[in-house]
Amino acid sequence: MVENYAPSLSNKRIKEGGMLQPKGASCGKLAMIESNPDGKLYWNLKMSLNFLQSCDVIRSPIAKWMGFPEANYVGYCDFRGLASYSEGQSYRPRVNYIYGGRWVCARYIPVSPTTVYWFICFNSSSSGPK
């Protein structure tokens, strides 16, 4: 996604991956979020940006910190992800729909020459395990 927005942003302001985590640090569970008036991050990095892309899951510290309500089950489930094609993907740059019968829908969206975002959504009587 960053690649799609890059032309409209200053090149000096784009840094892919690792912005909030130093190189070599292992990913782990987020323990705390707090505001810092001087704008410095935990590792004493200063961040200035016009665009922030973030991914999050339900029942997370980030969702709570942003004031989102607790998630409620609404009758459907989904799976989603990014597919990487090192040799390049051949899909046209548009939202592509696939309907797999009653109450099943899938979509895939090319987000760069080598990456495709996809998801499958379906009705389910249960939200599954928490």
Q: What residues make up the domain containing 98?
A: 73-130
In this structure, are 62 and 87 located in the same domain? Answer: no
Whole-number mean pLDDT of the chain? 69
CB 112 within 8 Å of CB 4: yes
- Alpha-carbon distances, residue 66 vs 41, 115, 123, 130 (angstroms): 18, 29, 28, 21
- What pLDDT shows up at residue 76? 80
In this structure, are 44 and 16 located in the same domain? Answer: yes
In this structure, are 6 and 24 located in the same domain? Answer: yes
* Residue where a domain stops, chosen among 67, 93, 112: 67
In this structure, are 62 and 4 located in the same domain? Answer: yes
47-93: per-residue pLDDT in tens? 555 555 555 566 676 677 767 787 777 788 888 899 999 999 988 88
* Residue where a domain stops, chosen among 67, 100, 119: 67
* Residue where a domain stops, chosen among 14, 33, 67: 67
18-28: per-residue pLDDT in tens? 344 444 444 44
How far apart CA 101 and CA 95 sit, in angstroms, is 19
